[in-house]
A and B are shown apart, each in its own frame.
Chain A
Amino acid sequence: MRTQEVESSPCAVRARGLAKFFGDVVALDGVDLDVAPGQIHGIVGPNGAGKTTLLGLLLGLAVADRGSLEVLGSSVGRALAAPDGVSGFVDAPGLYPALTARKNLAALAALRAPGAPTADIDDLLEQVGLTDVADDRARGFSLGMRQRLGLAAALITRPRLLVLDEPANGLDPAGKRHVHETLAGLAAQGTAVVLSSHRMDDLEAMCSDITILAVGRVVFSGPLGKLADRNGELDYRLVTSDIEAARQVAADTGGIQVLDTAGSQPDRDVLVVRALVSDLDELVPRLVHAGIALRELTPVVSPLESAFLALTEQHAQESSR
């Protein structure tokens, strides 16, 4: 035993200047990441952005070539293997098809040392909605069932940091709800969750914070609301009681651009406008004053997706210069 000075950090993950190279390929370049306990943090980026590499570093599957990584208060050194309390999967959950769902989990649970925190297998199966197929071999499982069993396997160790790569991939709406509820429940208990997804709606539904990667670099990291603020004008879809009158009101409102959507919108009662949020705030009361009922107002593309596309395209353009 000896006395040492450690930096007290509330972070489940604290990465500074992480870099990882595969030969000449730069997978990660100066990545900073902070994830607080109880936070569900999304990692998003185009293909090849370095998401899986970053998740692999958190899981101890690889070591960074540069930078520092602290996971659950422990510095991750040069050796493979993450600190205890970290669990999850990348690419796809690892399951053994010759074993039943229950035996897959039981075999993993048996790896735990006596006294180590281990979740109850029946509870986990129920949590992810696989109780009915608990004694079926994993060989016949659909992608969604495999995802859910993979999540259950990751939860065996009662992790304090859960790392998941595309956890909602292949899930039906009911399965997706199971996963969302499970992750929300974990976060409420203080578990930090880092997940990647290509589905912006999933990220918006689950994550409080996101990090956007492009070509191995962080182009945004922070709360979702802050990301939406970065958007300029967005396209919005309006459904009203009188399309022609609404079009006229929109055209007369400053800052609102009515888009010609003839031929592209199957519904002729839909009006598409391009505007800032502040201009929309002006348009809505005007429509009401004109006696036009506003039945629906939604962004054509989600603010997160818009910001994501804008940031990654901007980064790609800068990189190509």
Chain B
Amino acid sequence: MTVTATTDPSELLAPRTVSVARGYRFELVKQLAQLRVRILIGLCWIGPAVAVVLVSGQSTLPSDTLFGREMQATGWAGALVVLSFAGSWFFPLLTSVVAGDVFSSEDRLGTWRHLLVAVRSPRRIFIAKSLASLTVLLICVPGLAVSGIVGGLVVGSRPLAGLDGHPLSPADAAGKLLLAWLCVLAPILAFAAIGLLASVIFGRSPFALLLPAFGGLGMQLASQVLPMPAAVRVALPSFAFLSWNGLFTSPPQLHSLIAGIAVSLAWAAVATALAYVIFMRRDFTSHANDGSMRRAITLGILPLLAVWALSAGVVAAATGATGSGIDAGKLQRSLATSFGHFYVLQSQELYHLSYAAAQLRTTAACTKGSDLVAQDGPGNDWRCTVTWHLPGVNDAVGQAVYQLDVSANGRYVADGDGPNQVNGYFVLHAPYGDAPNPLWQFDGLVDLLAPPSKG
């Protein structure tokens, strides 16, 4: 029988799909029901505060972590150590556990068909899952920040010495800390997108969790340790976990910071787009996806390598950075600035004298190894002589020697090598109690992407 009906064809044919908002809520319920996600959230909100308070009370401080040697001086250093440590090791693990599992878990449970029948739109499932995993990350990350700050406030809100030694008031330190947390959201997005991609490609294979975690840690090692041109290093999303360090110099080192954020957002966009395309092409008639390394290489790893190469090219072209980004001129300028600020601090704590760092007219001369070695790049064989004018004493000049251990990411540790009265180890009285001589050992930073300095 044939009848004539007045019908809106779209109404007749279209299935009633579930809205993204409802799908998102469904995904969030599932995420938050998992014990490991709850444990992670609890750890993020409680762990840093406990760690900051406990570590700040120890006689040995984590001086290998940025701001670690200042943890007794001010609680803001503790809050920054949380960010520094999380950026180096915790964020890749966090993002892989949350985002790297969001699609894989459906494969493990065999629930894809159930989900598709319930939601009726793969596109909305993808959006809902991505937003839900992002939400869990956005619950965890502020937890780390707030918890670190609370721990720091328990230790004490006092001025913080920046990475060039200039003093930051508690309010300045708090403002820069919050800005730094905002900056690391970009690499967190990038790692979360890589986690999504791995989750879509590998399905229920353990690689879905392992690859982003190990890939992230590998990138961290590469961006911190391995020798490579600065532009290539900055083109890794993991670099942006460190580039916030530039906020703590005066003026701020913005080249690396901006490049790192831009690169991270590019990685996030490409990895998310790849994950979306692969997911939308998935055949849901199969019970589960066991992943394949060949697919991972062609659809995941190779495109991301291309993003890395392209980003490196863009960064190099935009900044003119070709080498390691570390040269004698940058180190000399940075060391002289830091020395001046810490000298003023030392004078205040030791003699209660107060004057401006500019009065010292500090300069530094750095050499690396012997004459046969190129005078640039990272290494622990940098030796610098700092010269300054003693304030109030005509033509009196002081000199001190430092050994510099310069990391590939631009961070260095200056270790006083005499004279002992200036930069040796001795204890002096600081507002918060006994403290080591601030000129003995301190952290510094050079901007890898800043134009080469002629010294």
Q: Which residues of A contact B (CB under 8 A)?
A: 1-8, 22, 52-53, 56, 59-62, 73-75, 77, 80-84, 86-99, 103, 107-108, 110-113, 116, 150, 153
Contacts and interface: CB of A to CB of B under 8 A. Distances in A.
A111 B6 CA distance: 30
Contacts, number: 136
B226 interface: no
A113 B19 contact: yes
Nearest to B19: A113
B41 to A, nearest CB: 14
B113 A89 contact: yes
B5 A98 contact: no
Given A56-B285, A116-B16, A110 B34 contact: no
Contacts of A95: 109, 111, 114
B7 A6 contact: yes
A77 B14 CA distance: 9
A164 to B, nearest CB: 12
Given A56-B113, A61-B284, A94-B111, A4 B9 contact: yes
A111 B284 contact: no
20 contacts: A3-B4, A3-B6, A5-B3, A5-B5, A7-B1, A8-B2, A22-B285, A59-B113, A60-B15, A61-B117, A84-B15, A84-B120, A91-B113, A95-B111, A96-B33, A97-B109, A98-B34, A107-B26, A107-B30, A116-B16
A112 B16 CA distance: 9
Contacts of A6: 2-3, 5, 7, 12
A81 B123 CA distance: 11
B121 to A, nearest CB: 6
Interface size grouping (class) on chain B: 35 or more
A96 B109 contact: yes
Contacts of A92: 110
A59 B119 contact: no
Interface in B1-44: 1-9, 12-19, 22-23, 25-26, 29-30, 33-35
A53 B285 contact: yes
Contacts of B109: 94-97
B103 to A, nearest CB: 14
Interface in B119-164: 119-122
A27 B6 CA distance: 37
B116 interface: yes
A81 B116 CA distance: 7
